[in-house]
Amino acid sequence: MRTLRFLLQKEFRQMFRDKTILVMMFLLPVIQLGILPLAMDLDVKNINVAIVDQDHSAYTQKLITKLGASGYFKIVTVAPAYKQALFSLENGKADIVLEIPPSFERHLIKEGNQSLNVTADAINGTKSGIGTAYLLAVIRDFNQDIRLMSNRQPVAPAIIDIASSAWFNPHQKFTWYIVPGVLVLLLTLVGGFLSSLNIVREKEIGTIEQINVTPIKKWQFILGKLIPFWVVGMIVLTIGLLVARLFYGIIPLGSILLLYLLAAVYLMALLGFGLLVSTISNNQLQSMFIAFFFIMIFVLMSGLFTAVDSMPVWARTIATFLPITHFMKAVRMIILKGSTFSDVLPILVFELLFAIGLNALAIRNYRKTQ
Amino acid sequence: MVKCSSMKKNNPNSAPAADHADMPIIADHISKSYNKGAVNALRDVSFEVKKGELFGLIGPDGAGKTTLFRILTTLLQADKGQARVSGYDVVKDYKQIRSSVGYMPGKFSLYQDLTVEENLTFFATLFGTSVAAHYELIKDIYDQIKPFSDRRAGKLSGGMKQKLALCCALVHRPTVLFLDEPTTGVDVVSRREFWEMLQQLKRQGITILVSTPYMEEAVRCDRIALIQNGQLLNIGTPSQITDTFPVKLYAVKAASIYTLLKDLRSWTQAESCYAFGDLLHVTLGPHTGDDLALIREYATAKGHDQVTVQRIAPSIEDSFIRLTTTNSLQYGSADQS
């Protein structure tokens, strides 16, 4: 026990003397959580629309006003012909072109129907898809209005009005969805990267040579490496939760204790992964690349940005076997939904298995003799 | 007791002395190769170090010194052969060895971001002891770096680092001390001091195995082994090794050393000739007559001024050069062919 205590003392001393790592450890959660969720907002706003109005009637005026009033669209140009409007799409000024044909109003009144042309720049798939959908919704709404206005039909057609209510995120704020995700990302970075650099650093400086000739036990050495990063991970989580509360007003609905318990186990699994990487690599560059390779996959497949459920089957299978996927889910459940212990128990067991497995592998792989 | 590997080759069963207490280090036919046999780091190396002896392993870079150290300190396993340190087998009893030997790797291997004192305390704890427990052993050395005990190890000078590393290797009072090239990259004064410290440790009864690429340091050891390309060339006391130099050695000097070297190398009578400091060391092949006169006559005939020829006692380096070039030695010079 005395040996372990001194090992820990040494690790913490080294950590506190490495100013860069120290600053990064505490700046990382603040900056990442403070900035990324705002930047990563998937809500589509500011869709630039170029309008080709060939009718210039009261109806077109109404449609354009409605478009501008929706808050999602910015009318950048009103072009006299489709060709000019298309040009503004090509040079990136506009995202969508709405073409209103001549005699738009007359056809609508006389014949009761009229087609419009919507052209979208699909380089940014999300923006064009969602933008077009919004635009169509506005036009549909406009359609309802004019039917009522025209009074041609004495009885308004039956309309199914759908009112939706969003549970667990009533205002459908994107930050609510992404902040818990970024929190998980942070823990993954701290746990995965920092720990993967640690043993290999001793290898690179040569200190491991001196350590290996001492009678120190393997488990003491590994524990001495694990515990400091585990503590750092918990501190990062605490800072992260504070930032989420102060910046975004996100207060976990569920038990904070449960969140910490889950994070503790998840961190253990991740530290095991980092140590494993550390034992198989010979220098810091190698271990950085190996860790980067895996963590990139972990993060992109975890459901941080995209829903795991909408992935192809093979990807979903991979995602199911990643500890981060389940942890991400559990963190969102606890923070947003207020899930209880019994809800996340299967996930907790899963993470625990990972923690045991990865650490066992790391300990087995770390050899004092070559 | 002293046996060169080449002598023992035909008799692998001649086991080393059974009395391990007198032989803290026994290496028995050790071989080790890297890259699946592509590089033979050690070839059938056998030697023994007596209790309380200061034993030097002398050889150039890449001779296999560090590999041998790593095998003896249980950091590496040999492909073939056995070794015992302090009576313990390096493979089976590695645990006992780790708590009873001190090892100072060739590369500075202490924590550069910890202070002098923290490093020392840390390693004392790892060995389950305290700095105070065996303080008298390290006192003389530690006193020299004590004024810097709050300084980080990375900020020490080369000689200071060396002393700290030695303290850390001695903190648990090991019975055997392994020093891998402790004087490489250290200034002349620190090197001399370092060897004096080793003499003191020897007096305290610690067996020391030290390696060095510097031939002139060999005379400070009780016994030495010359190593080249993973093979031991010769083992013995420094004087034994120089005494077995088979021929007479001459130091030759003239106004123009370089042309003299070229002339002597192309001389059929000269067996070998190489530069040694600002002199040339020459050995002659079989001939009749006075060696000194012969060399002087030849040099003067080639038009050299201020020719001086002197018979000298061979140094370890001369022995080493002779041992490593024996195979290529022949009458005349290779330059002619």
Q: Which of B98, B152, B168 sits opposite A215 (nearest CB)?
A: B98
- B56/B210 Cα distance (integer angstroms): 5
Q: For chain A, what is the mean pLDDT?
A: 86
Residue A157: per-residue pLDDT: 62
pLDDT top residue among A15 and B210: B210
Give chain A as a 3 state SS string.
CHHHHHHHHHHHHHHHHCHHHHHHHHHHHHHHHHHHHHHCCCCCCCEEEEEEECCCCHHHHHHHHHHHHCCCEEEEEEECCHHHHHHHHHCCCCCEEEEECCCHHHHHHHHCCCCCEEEECCCCHHHHHHHHHHHHHHHHHHHHHHHHHHCCCCCCCCCCCCCCCCCCCCCCCHHHHHHHHHHHHHHHHHHHHHHHHHHHHHHHHCHHHHHHCCCCCHHHHHHHHHHHHHHHHHHHHHHHHHHHHHHHCCCCCCCHHHHHHHHHHHHHHHHHHHHHHHHHCCCHHHHHHHHHHHHHHHHHHCCCCCCHHHCCHHHHHHHHCCHHHHHHHHHHHHHHHCCCHHHHHHHHHHHHHHHHHHHHHHHHHCCCCC
- Residue-wise pLDDT tens digits, B247-283: 889 999 888 888 899 888 888 888 888 988 888 999 8
Of these ranges, A187-191, A196-200, B32-36, B113-117, the one predicted with the greatest mean pLDDT is: B113-117
Among A37-41, A77-81, A213-217, B154-158, the minimum mean pLDDT is found in A37-41
Whether A292 has a pLDDT exceeding 50, the answer reads yes
Q: Which of A3, A208, A368 sits opposite B125 (nearest CB)?
A: A3
Q: Sorting pLDDT into bands at 50, 70 and 90, what band is B333?
A: very low
Residues of A within 8 A of B128 (CB-CB) are 3, 215
Residues of B within 8 A of A214 (CB-CB) are 98-99, 123, 126-127
Residue of B nearest to A5 (CA): B125
- Residue-wise pLDDT tens digits, A127-145: 888 888 888 888 888 888 8
Residues of A within 8 A of B107 (CB-CB) are 206, 209
Nearest to B41 by CA among B74, B71, B85, B2: B71
Which segments of chain B are extended strands (E)?
25-34, 39-49, 54-58, 80-85, 88-89, 101-104, 176-179, 207-212, 223-228, 231-236, 249-253, 270-276, 279-284, 308-312
Give B207: exposed, middle or buried? Use CB within 10 Å, 0-12, 13-18, 19+: buried
- Residue-wise pLDDT tens digits, B178-207: 999 998 888 888 889 899 999 999 999 899
Q: Which of B107, B114, B128 sits opposite A10 (nearest CB)?
A: B114
**Percentage of residues in chain A with pLDDT exceeding 70?**
95
Residue A34: per-residue pLDDT: 85
Residues B126, A212: C-beta atoms closer than 8 Å: no
Residues of B within 8 A of A17 (CB-CB) are 113, 152
Distance from CA of B123 to the nearest CA of A (A): 8
Residues A370, B125: C-beta atoms closer than 8 Å: no
Among A300-314, B188-202, B212-226, the minimum mean pLDDT is found in A300-314
Distance from CA of B226 to the nearest CA of A (A): 25
Chain A, residues 1-20, CB within 8 A of chain B, namely 2-3, 6, 10, 13-14, 17-18
Mean pLDDT of A233-240: 92
- Residue-wise pLDDT tens digits, A102-129: 888 888 888 877 888 888 888 887 788 8
Q: Which of B95, B98, B109 sits opposite A207 (nearest CB)?
A: B109
Mean pLDDT of A250-262: 92
Mean pLDDT of B284-297: 83
Q: Where in chain A is the domain with CATH 3.40.1710.10?
A: 47-150
- A136/A141 Cα distance (integer angstroms): 8
Whether B35 has a pLDDT exceeding 80, the answer reads yes
**Residue for token pair 């992260």:** A240
Residues B99, A18: C-beta atoms closer than 8 Å: no
Residues A209, B113: C-beta atoms closer than 8 Å: no
Whether B334 has a pLDDT exceeding 70, the answer reads no
Residue A155: per-residue pLDDT: 55
CATH (residue range B5-237): 3.40.50.300
Q: For chain B, what is the mean pLDDT?
A: 85
Whether B337 has a pLDDT exceeding 50, the answer reads no
Q: Is A282 on the interface with B (CB under 8 A)?
A: no
Whether A302 has a pLDDT exceeding 90, the answer reads no
Residue A268: per-residue pLDDT: 93
- Residue-wise pLDDT tens digits, A15-68: 888 888 788 878 888 888 888 887 776 677 788 899 998 888 888 888 888 888
Q: Which of B98, B107, B118 sits opposite A213 (nearest CB)?
A: B98
Residue A227: CB atoms within 10 Å: 16
Of these ranges, A173-177, A270-274, B326-330, the one predicted with the greatest mean pLDDT is: A270-274
Domain A47-150 in CATH 3.40.1710.10: yes
- Residue-wise pLDDT tens digits, B45-68: 999 999 999 999 998 888 899 999
Residue A131: per-residue pLDDT: 86
Residue B4: per-residue pLDDT: 42
Q: Sorting pLDDT into bands at 50, 70 and 90, what band is A147?
A: confident
Residue B53: per-residue pLDDT: 93
Q: Is A312 on the interface with B (CB under 8 A)?
A: no
Nearest to B72 by CA among B215, B174, B1, B177: B177
Q: Which two tokens stand for residue A295?
A: 């963590």
Q: Is A206 on the interface with B (CB under 8 A)?
A: yes
Residues of A within 8 A of B121 (CB-CB) are 6
Q: Is A151 on the interface with B (CB under 8 A)?
A: no
User: Model ipTM?
Assistant: 0.73
If you classify domain B249-336 with CATH, what class do you get?
alpha beta
Residues A213, B101: C-beta atoms closer than 8 Å: yes
Half-sphere exposure of B263 toward its Cβ, with a 13 Å CA cutoff? 19
Among B18-22, B102-106, B306-310, the minimum mean pLDDT is found in B18-22
Residue of B nearest to A4 (CA): B126
- Residue-wise pLDDT tens digits, A331-356: 999 999 888 999 999 999 999 999 99
Residue B14: per-residue pLDDT: 41
Report the SS3 class of residue B99. Answer: helix
Is A258 in contact with A341 (CB distance < 8 Å)? Answer: yes
Is B47 in contact with B232 (CB distance < 8 Å)? Answer: yes
- Residue-wise pLDDT tens digits, A311-329: 889 988 989 889 999 999 9
Residues of A within 8 A of B122 (CB-CB) are 6, 10
The domains of chain B are located at 5-237, 249-336
